[in-house]
């Protein structure tokens, strides 16, 4: 039996499958840079107010390098995500202006996009809701918190489409 093969760059199914594989790699990058816990690590965020607030919020140290602020992290990762999205072939790229997916493949790409977007910005939202004085919240934290909430809303809309039918991603859709 031969190995699997991808030769037709116009194959919609193949392109969707590869797009989901590629965004998975981006999600791994997000996990590694923002969420990987390093006990005893000296790498902390550069902004003292955020550092002081992390333990109160119950949020561990992020994987941020000492020279990289969370703002740079979020900005760069959102940019990478948007670059990935814009580079999707037209035949598979979801139309985000429409809130309703066309089909399951469209729904999965949307759910991955919104899930990645919200995961990138989640630390900011958690910080903003951790009881910190409003005057101490940097403007970029507010901005990314808004992105996180908007992404969650879009994700829920997409998930409601997926969960109407039996798919192999139902469990994952609920847990993401």
Partner 1 sequence: MSCQFEEMPAAAATAAARPGANAHNQTGSSPETSNNGEISPEPPSQDLLRRLEELENLVRRQSGQAMPLADPIPPRTPQLPLPAFYGSLDEPAGLPAFLATVFTPPDLHSTPQLAPNQSPSRADEYPAGEEPLTIPIGHLTPTGNLFSLVAIEKLIGEYPEDYFFQIESRRQRGPPLPSATLREMLGRLRTARDSTDRFLAAFWSEIHPHFPILEQERFSAFFSAVMENGPMSEADGALCLVIVALGQLISSEQPELPDDFNTEDGGDYFAAAYHILTREWLTSFDFELSLVSGLVYMAIYLCYVQSPLLSWRLVHMAATKLQTLVSW
Q: Which of 44, 47, 49, 130 binds partner 1 (CB under 8 A)?
A: 130
User: Footprint of partner 1 on residues 43-82 (CB under 8 A)?
Assistant: 43, 56-60, 63, 65, 67-69, 72-73, 75-77, 79-80
| CA dist., res. 84 & res. 61, Å (int) | 28
| CA dist., res. 156 & res. 173, Å (int) | 9
Exposed e or buried b per residue across 71-87, where buried means at least 16 C-beta atoms within 10 angstroms of its C-beta? bebbeebbeebeebbee
Q: Could you tell me the smallest distance in angstroms from the CB atom of residue 55 to partner 1?
A: 9
Stretch that binds partner 1, among 94-102, 140-148, 153-161, 162-170 (CB under 8 A): 162-170
Binding-residue total with partner 1 (CB under 8 A): 73
Residue placing its CB nearer to partner 1 in the complex, 2 or 48? 2
Q: Which of 73, 76, 66 is nearest to 45 (CA)?
A: 66
Stretch that binds partner 1, among 94-102, 129-137, 142-150, 155-163 (CB under 8 A): 129-137
Question: Which letter does DSSP use for residue 31 in this model?
Answer: I
By the rule CB under 8 A, 24 interacts with partner 1: yes
Q: Is the dihedral of CA 54, 82, 15, 111 positive or negative?
A: positive
Q: Could you tell me the smallest distance in angstroms from the CB atom of residue 48 to partner 1?
A: 17
**What are the CA-CA distances from residue 45 to residues 61, 67, 148 (Å)?**
8, 8, 20
By the rule CB under 8 A, 88 interacts with partner 1: yes
Tokens of 142: 């507010």
User: Footprint of partner 1 on residues 134-153 (CB under 8 A)?
Assistant: none
């Amino acid at each position: 039996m031969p190995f699997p093969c991808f030769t037709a760059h116009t194959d919609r199914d193949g392109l969707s499958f590869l797009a989901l594989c590629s965004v998975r790699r981006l999600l791994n990058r997000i996990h590694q840079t923002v969420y990987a816990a390093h006990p005893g690590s000296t790498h902390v965020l550069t902004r003292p107010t955020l550092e002081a607030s992390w333990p109160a919020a119950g949020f561990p140290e992020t994987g941020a390098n000492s020279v990289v602020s969370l703002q740079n992290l979020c900005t760069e990762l959102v940019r990478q995500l948007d670059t990935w999205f814009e580079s999707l072939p037209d035949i598979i790229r979801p139309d985000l202006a429409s809130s309703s997916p066309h089909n399951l493949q469209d729904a999965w790409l949307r759910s991955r996009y919104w899930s990645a977007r919200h995961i990138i910005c989640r630390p900011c939202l958690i910080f903003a809701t951790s009881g910190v004085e409003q005057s101490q919240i940097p403007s970029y934290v507010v901005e990314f918190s808004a992105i996180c909430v908007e992404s969650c809303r879009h994700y829920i809309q997409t998930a409601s489409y997926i969960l109407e039918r039996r798919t192999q991603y139902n469990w994952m859709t609920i847990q993401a």
